[in-house]
Amino acid sequence: MSDEGLSARLDREPAQVECKICRHRQWLSAATGRCDQCSSDIELFESREAAVTALDQLSREGRVAFLVDAGKGLFGVVANRKFGGGR
């Protein structure tokens, strides 16, 4: 499914992701977002493989990141905030 397909799916039915950094449960109606409590970056994927690839990239950048099962066939990657220099 494309990003448009994921966006449409999340518009219809937001996904709940638990932030592994602060344990806040966050509802996302878009493929990317931030934790309302600690501002960690959250990105949703429709395949575990795509999520693991994103997780590996964040780890190479020195970011603390976690893979989470968001249910309903979705996988989330939660990463600590990045300070300075934009996203």
Domain layout of the chain by residue ranges: 3-79
pLDDT at 60: 94
* Portion of the chain with pLDDT greater than 90, in percent: 85
On the question of pLDDT at 34 being above 70, the answer is yes
On the question of pLDDT at 81 being above 70, the answer is yes
Alpha-carbon distance of 68 to 62, in angstroms, equals 19
Residue 82 or 86, more confident: 82
Is the separation of the CB atoms in 39 and 81 below 8 Å? yes
The torsion angle over the Cα atoms of residues 8, 13, 6 and 57, rounded to 10 degrees, is 140
Is the separation of the CB atoms in 42 and 33 below 8 Å? yes
pLDDT at 48: 97
pTM, two decimal places: 0.86
On the question of pLDDT at 35 being above 80, the answer is yes
Is the separation of the CB atoms in 31 and 41 below 8 Å? no
